[in-house]
Amino acid sequence: MRRRWLVHIVLLFIIGTASAFLYWRPPSSGSAQALTSIQPAQVRQVALRWPDGRQIALAQQDSQWRMTAPWQAPADAFPVLRLLTVLSAVPRARLDASSPQRFGLQNPTAELTVDGLSFRFGDINAITQEQYLQFGNDIYAIELRHGAALPKDPAVLLRRRLLAPGEEPLAMELPGFRISKQDGRWQLHPASEAMGQEALQAFIDGWRHGIAARAEPRGNAPPIGTVTVQVKDHAPLRFGILARSPDVILARDDLGLAFRFSRDAGESLLVIKKYQ
């Protein structure tokens, strides 16, 4: 008798799960095609809105992304391209659009606008592991990764590189020493025989390729030191050293951004170490 009851319970669970699946994910219609044929390089304006009123705005010009809200600052292309993957999303199903509240779209969890096209993100189906999306007059079931790519923290989209491509250092002034290039060789002032060209080049490359763990608005903290970088065809770049412990924080004045590094990574930008 007990075994029969267990069989009935299992059958009821299967029936309930199947019913929920059919309710929340009706049969698909049409062929599997991407939502749009728009390429990220064609996009010029992006806006992301959250239900609590937070907004992020981005603009692309000359293949460079820039955040225009909530801050004015360079944006990192990689996370921007991640949030634009919805343009090429291939829906797993087209759903009944007559009752958007059924899919959590009456009050969407997020709304992404790309050059005037609106993508409204709704509920997540825990059974099918899909998210509901309203695009135009249609509602679709799409992969979770597209909604997961929408950042709630705008700082995630900020550029984390100290120097932009093309900003090649010609000379640097740091607390206690200076580096400059003469006749194709780096010179350290005051001179040190322990620091050869390898060590100086490694130090410069650290700045050329340095990527912070996080970028954020600079704030009003006074610097405890400064770094001046002279680059080709550009006014000297000034970095304020805001902290050296527990993290190293460097603020680039012309961008209004503060770059946060771990202590070891940050100290390698402020102290030349003998090349190993």
Which pLDDT does position 23 carry in this prediction? 43
Which pLDDT does position 258 carry in this prediction? 98
| Cα distance between residue 248 and residue 254, in whole Å | 19
Which pLDDT does position 274 carry in this prediction? 57
Q: Between residues 197 and 36, which one has the greater pLDDT?
A: 36
Of 122-136, 182-196, 225-239, where does mean pLDDT reach its minimum? 182-196
Which pLDDT does position 117 carry in this prediction? 98
Is residue 155 a contact partner of residue 216, using CB atoms and an 8 Å limit? yes
Give pLDDT tens digits for 263-274: 999 999 999 875
Which pLDDT does position 20 carry in this prediction? 45
Q: Is the pLDDT of residue 6 over 70?
A: no
Which pLDDT does position 174 carry in this prediction? 97
Is residue 133 a contact partner of residue 142, using CB atoms and an 8 Å limit? yes
* pTM as predicted: 0.82
Which pLDDT does position 15 carry in this prediction? 41
Percentage of the chain surpassing pLDDT 90? 80
Give backbone dihedrals phi and psi of 135, rounded to 5 degrees, phi first. Answer: -130, 115
Helices (H) and strands (E) in the chain, counts: 5, 17
- Average pLDDT estimate for 226-249: 95
What is the overall mean pLDDT for the chain?
89
| Listed ranges 5-9, 201-205, 270-274; the one with the highest mean pLDDT | 201-205
Q: Between residues 178 and 10, which one has the greater pLDDT?
A: 178
| Cα distance between residue 276 and residue 272, in whole Å | 12
- Average pLDDT estimate for 227-252: 95
Q: Is the pLDDT of residue 30 over 90?
A: no
- Band (pLDDT 50/70/90 cuts) for residue 18 is very low
Percentage of the chain surpassing pLDDT 70? 88
Is residue 91 a contact partner of residue 119, using CB atoms and an 8 Å limit? no
Sheet with 138-143, edge to edge strand ranges:
73-74, 64-69, 55-61, 45-49, 110-114, 117-125, 130-135, 138-143, 93-95
